[in-house]
Amino acid sequence: MYVADRIRELREYKKLSQGDVEKRTGLLRCYISRVENGHTVPALETLEKISRGLGVSLYQFFYVNEESPATKPHSFDRAKDWASQGKGHRVFSKMCHAVSKISGKDRQILLLMATQLSNSKRGRSRKP
């Protein structure tokens, strides 16, 4: 599923208009429309703004499951979200800024490496 579909799905689930999202994020309504229709691919920093405006965690745009969290309400507890304050927020902001500057091919390589690292850690933790 595309991020654009997730944004629209979350926005409609929360019964928000694109104008409401504009007010919450500071992004133009026409930009939000272009993102939802797949004409524009937002940077990671922009996705973070949109997720905050919708009141969900950033991972929900990418999470794929039969019971999609995009169709369920999400309690966004800032005290428990490591990237919402302090050192975690600074590290996450720097990471978003760095990733937004790399090319699409490099992003794909970075995502592939992260996926492989995640899979290898899961495999090790399951072994007795």
Q: What is the pLDDT of residues 23-55, one digit of tens each?
A: 999 999 999 999 988 888 888 888 889 988 988
**What's the pLDDT at 86?**
66
Residue 127: HSE in the Cβ half-sphere, 13 Å Cα cutoff: 6
The correct CATH number of 1-76 out of 1.10.260.40, 3.40.640.10, 3.20.19.10, 1.10.40.50 is 1.10.260.40
Residues with pLDDT less than 70, the chain = 1, 63-89, 121-128
pTM over 0.95: no
Nearest to 63 by CA among 52, 78, 74, 49: 74
Position 23 scores a pLDDT of 92
